Structures are given as structure tokens and as C-alpha cells.
Amino acid sequence: MEEMGSDCSSSGLQELHVLAVDDSLVDRKVIERLLKISCCKVTAVESGRRALQYLGLDGERSSVGFDELKVNLIMTDYSMPGMTGYELLKKIKGSSKLREIPVVIMSSENVLARIDRCLEEGAEEFLVKPVKLSDVERLRDFILRGEEKNEREFSRKRKTSDDSCTPASSPSSSDSDLPSSPISPISVSTVSDEPRPKRARLLDDN
């Protein structure tokens, strides 16, 4: 019989840091548990504004350096008061500092136009709530593969010991603009060389 609460350290899985954004207390508790079981570090916040604050994008200097806040994935609810998940997504994708962080939208409403809009804006995936453990595990594996690839590319770049560190030499994703400044070594990215299939899990019951 498989032990559900498997020892994360012994499983050899790198711990991803996920920022979860949801105005619902209940949903935050559930997503937090889903992520912890999947061996992820979780920071759960209640709004888009708080999320931006945490990511250091609200104009104010965050007290902690970006390094420590390194976020590998953002999972956000769509319908939230104030700033919707879609608006948060746009802000993140519009930021040179943060745009490489994969963003997943969660919504209880299975609206095709909504899904399309989010995917077009750069969301990695659109999950219909309630989110399942299998969704989270699948996401984690996908992000981990991207991170591993990133690490390999980064160490390869370092070996060439070229200060200008031109992004053009690396197989970067076709949709990102080449930043004029050298890529920060701590930038999180799931840069991949093949087009990622945009998936949306559609509600099949109800």
C-alpha cells in the first residue's frame, strides 16, 4: 500500500516554490495542501495586489531580495475582487522581471472565451476547479522539466565565460523579447525550444 505522505526529501524531487493566489480561504487551504503533498513550497496570498507585492512588482521595494523569493510557478484564481487573475496574468507577463514565470489560471467556470483569453495572454494552463492532485502533480512535473532544462542551459552558458551573455545564442522561446540587459542568473524560466502545447482541462461533468 502506497504511503501518501511520501517523504519529499527522499523522493529526490527538487522543491518548487509556488505562489498561490485566491481570495477564498477554503480554496487556499486546499491548494496549499495539494502543493505540499506534491513536494512544493507554497506561499498563499489572497489577492492579485498582494501577489504583486510579494513578487516585488508593486513599486515598493520588497524587504527580501528577489533571490529568496524565487517563484517557479504562479497559480491564480480567475474571479477575485479588485484585480482578477487575468489582470494579474497581464501584469506578470508585462513585466520583464517576471514574465518568464509560468502562470496557471484556476476557475470554477468553464467558459471557452475566458480560457482562450488567458491562454492567449500567456497562461501556461487553465484549470477548472476544484483542482485535483493529479493536476498539481502534472504541473509540477512540467515545471520541473523546464527548470532542469534551464539549469543545463545556464551552466552551459557560464562555461563559455562570455560576459555579454547574449541570449541570442541560446535556444530561447520564440515569443520573448530579448532583454537588453544580461539575463539575471536567478531568473526563473521554462524556456523551451519546442512549442509548448497549450492545454486546458475542460470540465467533463456537471
Partner 1 sequence: MQRQLANMKQSLFDQGYLDEQFIQLEELQDDANPNFVEEVVTLYYRDSARLIQNLEQALEKNPLDFGKLDSYMHQFKGSSSSIGAKRVKIECTQFREYCRTGNAEGCKKTFQQLKKEYATLKKKLEVYFQVARQAGPVEKACRPK
Q: Residue 37: how many CA atoms within 13 Å on its side-chain side?
A: 16
CB of 188 to partner 1, least distance (A): 27
Measured from the CB atom, the residue of 6 and 14 that comes closer to partner 1 is 6
One-letter identity of residue 204:
D
- Cα–Cα distance for residue pair 205/19, rounded to 1 Å: 28
The three-state secondary structure class of 46 is coil
Per-residue binder mask for partner 1 (CB under 8 A), 89-128, x = binder = -------------------x--------------------
Residue 135 backbone dihedrals phi, psi, to 5 degrees? -65, -50
For partner 1, which is the closer residue by CB, 130 or 171?
130
**Minimum distance from CB of 51 to partner 1 (Å)?**
19
Cβ atoms of residues 23 and 46 within 8 Å: yes
Residues 16-45, interacting with partner 1 (CB under 8 A): 23-27, 29-30, 33-34, 37
Tell me how far, at minimum, the Cβ of 47 lies from partner 1, in Å. 14
Q: Please, are residues 99 and 91 in contact by the beta-carbon 8 Å criterion?
A: no
Which residues of this protein are in contact with partner 1, per CB under 8 A?
1-5, 23-27, 29-30, 33-34, 37, 79, 108, 129-130, 132-133
